[in-house]
C-alpha cells in the first residue's frame, strides 16, 4: 500500500514538473521586489484549459456519485488518479493561471494519494469540498 501511494506521489510530482514546465517568473516592481501572483488567485477567476475543466468535472461526478455509482473504494481512487494524471498530460496553461493551478493541484495530489481503500465520510467530504473549490478560482 505504501509503495503504491509513494509511487503515485512521485509520478504526479514528475508529471507536474515535466508536463507543465518550469514555474513562470514572478512579477517584479520598479524596486525589484518579487510579488507572488498566486495569492491573487484566491480572488481572481483564472481561465483554465478545457481538458483541465473536463478532468475536474469528471472527478466531481465520481466523488459526488460515490457509492451509488457502484465503484469500490479502490476503483474510485484509481479512476480519480487517472483523471488527475490526464490534467498533466494535457496541460497547456501558462503564467499566473498555471501557478494557481499548481497551488490547487498539490493538496489534491495528497488527498488522492492518501485516500483509503474504503474512503471514510471525512475523506469524501474533504475531497468533495476541494474539488468544488476549483470553480472559485478557475473557469
List pLDDT tens digits, range 27-79: 444 444 444 444 444 457 999 999 999 999 999 999 999 999 999 999 999 99
pLDDT interval class at 1 (50, 70, 90): low
Within a domain: 72: yes
How is residue 86 annotated by DSSP? Answer: H
**What is the number of structural domains in the chain?**
1
Other residues' Cβ atoms within 10 Å of the Cβ of residue 1: 7
Within a domain: 21: no
Within a domain: 62: yes
Other residues' Cβ atoms within 10 Å of the Cβ of residue 43: 8
Within a domain: 101: yes
Please give the mean pLDDT across all residues of the chain: 82
Supply the pTM of this predicted model.
0.72
Query: Average pLDDT in the 15-30 region?
Result: 47
Checking if the pLDDT of 2 tops 50, the result is yes
Within a domain: 92: yes
Other residues' Cβ atoms within 10 Å of the Cβ of residue 95: 12
Closest CA to 80 of 46, 37, 49, 109: 109
Checking if the pLDDT of 22 tops 60, the result is no
How is residue 46 annotated by DSSP? Answer: B
Is the bond preceding residue 37 a cis peptide, omega within 30 degrees?
A: no
**Domain of 97, in residue numbers:** 1-10+50-139
Closest CA to 96 of 33, 17, 43, 58: 43
Position 26 scores a pLDDT of: 46
Task: Calculate the dihedral angle through the C-alpha atoms of 80, 121, 139, 109, rounding to the nearest 10 degrees.
Answer: -50
Query: How far is residue 60's CA from residue 74's CA, in Å, rounded to a whole number?
Result: 16
Within a domain: 106: yes
Checking if the pLDDT of 112 tops 60, the result is yes
Checking if the pLDDT of 5 tops 80, the result is no
Task: Calculate the dihedral angle through the C-alpha atoms of 100, 103, 109, 110, rounding to the nearest 10 degrees.
Answer: -160
Within a domain: 116: yes
Within a domain: 68: yes
Amino acid at each position: 500500500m505504501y509503495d503504491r501511494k509513494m509511487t503515485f506521489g512521485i509520478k504526479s510530482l514528475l508529471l507536474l514538473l515535466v508536463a507543465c514546465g518550469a514555474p513562470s517568473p514572478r512579477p517584479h516592481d520598479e524596486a525589484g521586489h518579487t510579488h507572488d501572483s498566486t495569492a491573487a488567485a484566491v480572488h481572481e477567476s483564472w481561465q483554465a484549459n478545457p481538458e483541465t475543466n473536463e478532468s475536474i468535472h469528471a472527478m466531481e461526478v465520481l466523488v459526488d456519485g460515490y457509492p451509488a455509482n457502484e465503484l469500490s473504494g479502490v476503483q474510485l481512487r484509481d479512476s480519480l488518479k487517472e483523471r488527475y494524471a490526464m490534467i498533466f498530460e494535457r496541460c497547456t496553461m501558462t503564467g499566473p493561471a498555471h501557478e494557481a493551478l499548481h497551488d490547487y493541484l498539490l493538496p489534491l495530489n495528497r488527498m488522492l494519494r492518501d485516500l483509503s481503500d474504503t474512503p471514510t465520510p471525512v475523506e469524501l467530504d474533504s475531497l468533495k469540498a476541494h474539488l468544488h473549490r476549483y470553480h472559485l478560482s478557475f473557469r
